[in-house]
A and B are shown apart, each in its own frame.
Chain A
């Protein structure tokens, strides 16, 4: 069996373990979902009644079993905080996260490959050293910080991009789809840049190392001896050949881009999975938390499979 097939077969196991872990951790944490729903001065009797109504007073294995039985029928339950079906909440948040993650991924990979190419053209030259130092510095910055800097610089001062949100706050419902799409794309620039920056730096570092490793190999020398220009050898042949580690990186970065962008989503008020999961965790909203973690765990599993060797 190929590593990729094995990784794919492990996805259900990964999802199951993740879900179980969420149930256990929520049970171990102080308080419960009634804290998010009832006022601070609610009596213990009112809390007990609500726990019973929601089934939170049942033993943990019973709660897990009930969830699994419902999930097997395609029923992910409802949020205890706002009563919305979990499936609908995930369906609303997932596209926003996929869009943000996809844009960050595309932009980050493209920028990283470009940087690596520029650096590898003249290794250890001034440009290479400057870009290495720059990428090291940018890679060390927390994403919340980068986001706030971009908001201050590109949003507040230059007024080039909106500061936050998915669309213009005063946009009225019923606009044509192309206007909505353009509005969303405009709002996407700063959060996607913030999220993609770290990936760009990592891709650049790995790809540069891979390119430098290729230097002097027989196939590269063969291309040079055939009269290809150094630029053509680098951009048309060496760079595509260096994409192997990038594919692995992208695979491993995928879950973070789908479910781990909570900080960026909070700073830019982007209504995606990260924010949904953070809000659910704070409210101990188990159905949403479990559903969201199942989606993220699936992304992790698929990412691992994508990064694994095909045979």
Chain B
């Protein structure tokens, strides 16, 4: 029943009108913690949720298939899977599951629960964000139940064992007994989304829509008891309200803080500890290397080619299955061709991109936007690649380009860009160096950064015109590669596979700038590094790839940003990491007041 219903309205109004009596604050449960979250989870069946909040809350309710530690990569340790083994040919992974775990309703957690989760993940009607985990598995092997507490996964071809273990343990089991007969398209609306069955240290006690989720210890949990009796996730959509409540002491924990908020907290509440999550969030300026108009023309031409081929296939002989296969093959073969694309008139030239990077003072941006005014402590470091620093040896030691406006002007002049008409903007063949720099309006730091970059580029005669877009429009333009320059960011993967971001083929959808190495060497190095599975052999290849990309500057790499989590010093064992601010919540504890 919703907390507030029409039946309670008269009573509430009456209580208010007669003075409301004294503040009806209930006694605070011992060892409680109130965590502010900006929005409530979409649901708590992990299969259908993408939000970080959903995943963080789920981590307290469910034992992970494998515990992850961030130590120069995702190092797995036993969780629900107490051990794992690979077949001799490196294609089959078998997980042995714990036999002592039970769902909140008393039913044991078994291999059937893992298999049910994978079946849902592979079902397009579910729309699971983890559907890609199931790609590459042999049909019917996703996964195979080998006994009540053993499952195996078999891939069609050998591959990187670390990545595959991460994929195989990346889908949480679902209570198959409670979902028997539930079709994929009904999963998002299933009651378990709002009343999940826990198998971990906490269970969900209450969920007041739009207000809060209350977690308490799970009596079925057989492991060490959590150090907190009550954890409340309060939904506070407004950032200012989250900060105010934290400073007033009515909320204990807040994450995702801006540098101004960090300074205010450390000034006004010295009893609050600011924990660093580590460097995972990259921000950059992407320069589109191809002419967006030529891409649109080629996409239209490709659509016409495919349509014509499909007409021929439909009119020709063959069974329905054969025609479907032929249509798919034609769509892949006749899609947009890179050779039909024109370089971007400004950013198609690597020398120009390097010149722009020389003109941007990244250290000044970090100083202005990501450094504490109070302590001078930076909350970001300069970035030189898309490989997260947390991946240690795989991240190439690249010396960043200096801030050198004189060198930038010289490089632009060498590329033919000079101010021939004295209007302060360099030009070439009558075309002024003018372009649109887009970012998402919801992120004030990015908007400020774009404004500072605009001023810095102006100093070398480049006119950047800002577009602060709603996120949906921003994201769609990035994906569609319909932009000149974009100030954007990534939450980096914690394993090295930059293929989707830097692979030369046009079907690599995250390569927003369409950069490629025409020699094919970078693609070959990435493929070789992925296939080897041996870090000592792979890392030099990864370094070469990163070095090559940095030389070409499809991105002006800005920074890796650290995220702050504010936690009262009275909370013991409060650790946060790159994988989530409250992922390790069961280990947090607090003495009774």
Contacts and interface: CB of A to CB of B under 8 A. Distances in A.
A92 interface: yes
Interface in B47-78: 48, 50
B555 to A, nearest CB: 16
A35 B509 contact: no
Contacts of A37: 42, 48, 50, 127, 129
A25 interface: no
Interface stretch (A67-75, A83-91, A115-123): A83-91
Interface string A143-178: 000001001100110000111111111111101011
A267 B243 CA distance: 12
A83 B24 contact: no
Interface in B173-213: 185, 187-190, 193-194, 205-206, 208-212
Contacts of A179: 24, 26
Interface stretch (A43-51, A195-203, A241-249): A43-51
Given A91-B2, A156-B247, A269-B237, A41 B16 contact: no
A181 B11 contact: yes
Contact of B234 (A43, A52, A165, A175): A165
A183 B509 CA distance: 51
A53 B188 CA distance: 12
B315 interface: no
B519 interface: no
A43 to B, nearest CB: 6
Contacts of A161: 23
Given A103-B16, A169-B232, A98 B9 contact: yes
A229 interface: no
B28 A170 contact: yes
Nearest to A48: B124
B357 interface: no
B34 A169 contact: yes
A269 B24 contact: no
A30 B526 CA distance: 34
A184 B241 contact: no
Interface residues of A, number: 78
B236 interface: yes
A267 B237 CA distance: 7
* Tier of interface size on chain B: 35 or more
B189 A162 contact: no
B24 A186 contact: yes
A275 B244 contact: no
A170 B13 CA distance: 22
A107 to B, nearest CB: 9
Interface stretch (B85-93, B425-433, B469-477): B469-477
Contacts of A172: 26, 29, 214
A82 B574 CA distance: 30
A24 interface: no
A151 B241 contact: yes
A83 B4 contact: no
A268 interface: yes
A53 to B, nearest CB: 5
B15 A181 contact: yes
Contacts of A31: 472-473, 475-476
Interface centre among B4, B6, B20, B29 (most CB of A within 10 A): B4
A185 B127 contact: no
B24 A92 contact: no
A49 B208 CA distance: 32
Contact of B129 (A39, A102, A165, A276): A39
Contacts of A85: 189
B476 A30 contact: yes
Contact of A284 (B2, B48, B472): B472
Given A42-B129, A164-B241, A166-B4, A99 B189 contact: no
A171 B25 CA distance: 8
B15 A49 contact: no
A311 to B, nearest CB: 32
A170 B127 contact: no
A259 to B, nearest CB: 15
Contacts of B210: 92-93, 96, 271-272, 275-276
Interface string A199-228: 000000000000000000000000000000
Interface centre among B28, B188, B232 (most CB of A within 10 A): B188
Contacts, number: 215
Contacts of A275: 210, 237
A38 B132 CA distance: 11
A27 interface: no
Nearest to A82: B42
Contacts of B245: 163-164
B3 A83 contact: no
Nearest to A98: B9
A188 B16 contact: yes
Contact of A163 (B14, B26, B241): B241
B15 to A, nearest CB: 4
A132 interface: no
Contacts of B205: 173
Interface centre among A37, A170, A173 (most CB of B within 10 A): A170
A53 B125 contact: yes
B316 to A, nearest CB: 25
Contact of A167 (B3, B5, B230): B3
Given A167-B211, A169-B232, A82 B188 contact: yes
Contacts of A84: 189, 193-194
Contact of B236 (A83, A164, A182, A184): A164
B391 to A, nearest CB: 18
A200 B14 CA distance: 21
Contacts of B28: 170
Contacts of A41: 500, 509-510
B8 A180 contact: yes
Contact of B127 (A49, A178, A276): A49
A41 B489 CA distance: 12
A266 interface: yes
Given A95-B5, A165-B211, A269-B234, A182 B15 contact: yes
Nearest to A80: B188
A106 B293 CA distance: 58
Given A155-B248, A181-B11, A268-B241, A279 B189 contact: no
A31 B21 CA distance: 50
Nearest to A34: B127
A277 B593 CA distance: 40
B12 interface: yes
A175 B4 CA distance: 13
B538 to A, nearest CB: 22
Contacts of A177: 8, 11
Contacts of B244: 148, 151-152, 155-156, 163
Which 5 residue pairs spanning A and B have beta carbons closest together? A271-B210, A83-B188, A31-B472, A181-B11, A83-B189
Interface of A: 29-31, 34-35, 37-44, 46, 49-50, 52-54, 78, 80-85, 89, 91-93, 95-96, 98-99, 102-103, 106, 148, 151-152, 155-156, 161-173, 175, 177-186, 188-189, 266-269, 271-272, 275-276, 279, 284
Interface of B: 2-6, 8-9, 11-16, 20-21, 23-26, 28-29, 32, 34, 39, 41-43, 48, 50, 124-125, 127, 129, 131-132, 185, 187-190, 193-194, 205-206, 208-212, 214, 230, 232, 234-238, 240-241, 244-245, 247-248, 250-251, 470, 472-473, 475-477, 479, 500, 509-510
5 contacts: A96-B4, A166-B211, A170-B26, A170-B28, A284-B472
Given A39-B50, A83-B43, A170-B29, 4 more contacts: A41-B510, A53-B124, A151-B244, A267-B241
